[in-house]
Structure 1
């Protein structure tokens, strides 16, 4: 099962290919699916940032690489504990400005990688 391509990105809006509910503000993607990333589920804020709980669902889908979009202006941080969690799971992590993150994610999708992503589409 391949990861779905992110087909469009603009401030506050992302679309994922081939998914019935494909329009998101922030989203999580993995081989075979995607869903909205609701920060309220884990109490995430820009600081201290992405927590292990924010990425566990994507990692559990068997990804080898996780791309994190840190926002259009890179306002979203990633906690050290999240990076440690990913390394412990043997997952390669790339934290990039969201436009660059989506481009890298789509590049990996195109190469058939088992890639997942968590993307913040605003600040």
Structure 2
């Protein structure tokens, strides 16, 4: 099963290839995608405390080898060291970038056939 490419990214809008839905923020993995609401794990509108281990857990369980995290267009969403440690302890390499760069890297990995997942914030 392959990871879907991200077809479109603009402020507040992401579209995943093969998916009829559009997202503001999303999670993607081999064979699927869904909306991502980082407030579910306690991150507030000031983007604090940021991407939590619980935000990436679902994607890690999909058998990925690489994870790309998009912190937002202005990189407002933080990624604490505890989250990076959690991903690395799971044996998954992680890349954290500004969202446009993160999507480009994610799509590059998809085209290479990597087992890659991602969590992307499309504003701030």
- Scaled by the length of structure 1, what TM-score is found? 0.96
Unaligned runs of 5+ in 2: none
SS in 2 for 1:95: strand
Summarize the alignment of residues 1-80 of structure 1 with structure 2, pairs less than 5 Å apart.
1-21=1-21, 23-45=22-44, 46-80=47-81
Number of residues paired by the alignment?
122
Shift of 1:79: 1.3
Shift of 1:38: 1.2
Structure 1 segments (4+ residues) deviating >2 Å: none
Shift of 1:117: 0.3
Give distance in 1, aligned partners of 2:60 and 2:25.
17
- Scaled by the length of structure 2, what TM-score is found? 0.95
Moved more, 62-71 or 12-21: 12-21
